[in-house]
Structure formats: structure tokens, C-alpha cells
């Protein structure tokens, strides 16, 4: 599956996973929305969750690499079906253990696993010391999401994880902000 990044360049170049993937020719960076090819857009603000059923939509994934302050506006400019990733936990050193706070390579890897491209997910993660940890932390949910029939089933599975987190929060609602 082709991987494309709409790249803003507004983060620390030394920590940018998209730039590192481009260095190894695993993704193509694009500086404008018009130059970015059509594909499944990984959009945290999308109304529909990514599922295996989306595999027929496109042969490319598009991620947006920019600050969270401009993400919603920039994602809107990308063409293709927009899909949100379900509950997954970050393994990167900046957001380790934080749900829904994935960096670009983690977003690609999660999406690739859900779409049945596990080997490619392992390849992109292999460029990072902590990459294998992402697959280990998320092994169960990724396997379940990949076996789902559609977005509705992915959302139902996700809800189980969110409910389990809320139950373990000593009475606090752990799903706030999710």
C-alpha cells in the first residue's frame, strides 16, 4: 500500500517520524494538499472509524503531519474517504501509554494492521527503536479490529476498551477527551 504524508514541517525535524520514513523511501512527503494523492485519509476528526471494509476504497493511505492546532483545518483539504483510527495506545517516547495520541508512523502502522497489511506495518515500525512496542501494546485490539467486518463493529470493539478503562479509573470517567 502506498503511504503519503501531507507534511507541514512545523515540528522538531529530529523527532519527525514522517521525515524518517521518507529518508528510507517508505513514504512520500507532499507540501500541499493539491499535490497529495487521493487515498484513505487518516483523520482523527473523521466521523467514521477505519475498518477492513475500507481496503477496497484505495491503494493508498494519507496521513497529515502537522501541529494539533491546525490538524482539523488541514485534513479537511485532503481528498479521499476520511477515517479515524480506533482506540490505540502510543508507544513513542513523547506520548508513551497515551490513548489516541499516535505519531505519524504509529497511525500508519495501526491503519496497515487493520487493513490486513501487518508485514508493511512491521517494516515501517522497524525504523524506530520503540516500534515493536507499538505492536506489542496494541496486539489484542489490532487483531480484533482487523477481524471486524465494518466500521460499526470496530466502534463496538473500541467501546469495550473505553468502558474497561472507565471501570478501572476508581469511579472517574476515563473516556473524557476521547
162 labelled binding-site residue = no
85 labelled binding-site residue = yes
Name the CA radius of gyration of the chain, rounded.
15
36 labelled binding-site residue = no
Under 8 Å CB-to-CB from 72, ≥6 apart: which residues?
A: 45
The domain tally of the chain equals 1
Asked whether residue 178 is domain-assigned, the answer is no
Asked whether residue 173 is domain-assigned, the answer is no
Average pLDDT value for residue range 52-59: 90
pLDDT for residue 119 is more than 60: yes
For residue 57, what are the domain limits?
2-167
Residue 53 corresponds to which cell in the numbers above? 471494509
Asked whether residue 45 is domain-assigned, the answer is yes
Average pLDDT value for residue range 126-139: 96
Asked whether residue 88 is domain-assigned, the answer is yes
Task: Give the pLDDT band (50/70/90) at residue 9.
Answer: low
Asked whether residue 22 is domain-assigned, the answer is yes
**Surface-to-core class of residue 3, CB atoms within 10 Å of its CB (0-12 exposed, 13-18 middle, 19+ buried):** buried
pTM of the entire predicted model: 0.87
17 labelled binding-site residue = yes
Please give the residue that has the higher pLDDT: either 110 or 178: 110
Task: Give the pLDDT band (50/70/90) at residue 67.
Answer: low
Asked whether residue 177 is domain-assigned, the answer is no
Asked whether residue 153 is domain-assigned, the answer is yes
Asked whether residue 54 is domain-assigned, the answer is yes
Amino acid at each position: 500500500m502506498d503511504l503519503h504524508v501531507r507534511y507541514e514541517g512545523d515540528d522538531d525535524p529530529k523527532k519527525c517520524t514522517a521525515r524518517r520514513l521518507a529518508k528510507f523511501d517508505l513514504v512520500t512527503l507532499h507540501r500541499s494538499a493539491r499535490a497529495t494523492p487521493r487515498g484513505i485519509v487518516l483523520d482523527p476528526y473523521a466521523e467514521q472509524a477505519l475498518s477492513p471494509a475500507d481496503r477496497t476504497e484505495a491503494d493508498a493511505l494519507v496521513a497529515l503531519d502537522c501541529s494539533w492546532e491546525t490538524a482539523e483545518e488541514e485534513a479537511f483539504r485532503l481528498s479521499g474517504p476520511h477515517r479515524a483510527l480506533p482506540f490505540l495506545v502510543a508507544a513513542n517516547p513523547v506520548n508513551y501509554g497515551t490513548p489516541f495520541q499516535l505519531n505519524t508512523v504509529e497511525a500508519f502502522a495501526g491503519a496497515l494492521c487493520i487493513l490486513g497489511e501487518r508485514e508493511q506495518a512491521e517494516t515501517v515500525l522497524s525504523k524506530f527503536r520503540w516500534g515493536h512496542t507499538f505492536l506489542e501494546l496494541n496486539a489484542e485490539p489490532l487483531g480484533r479490529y482487523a477481524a471486524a467486518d465494518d466500521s460499526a463493529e470496530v466502534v463496538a470493539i473500541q467501546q469495550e476498551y473505553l468502558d474497561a478503562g472507565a471501570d478501572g479509573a476508581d469511579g472517574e470517567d476515563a473516556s473524557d477527551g476521547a
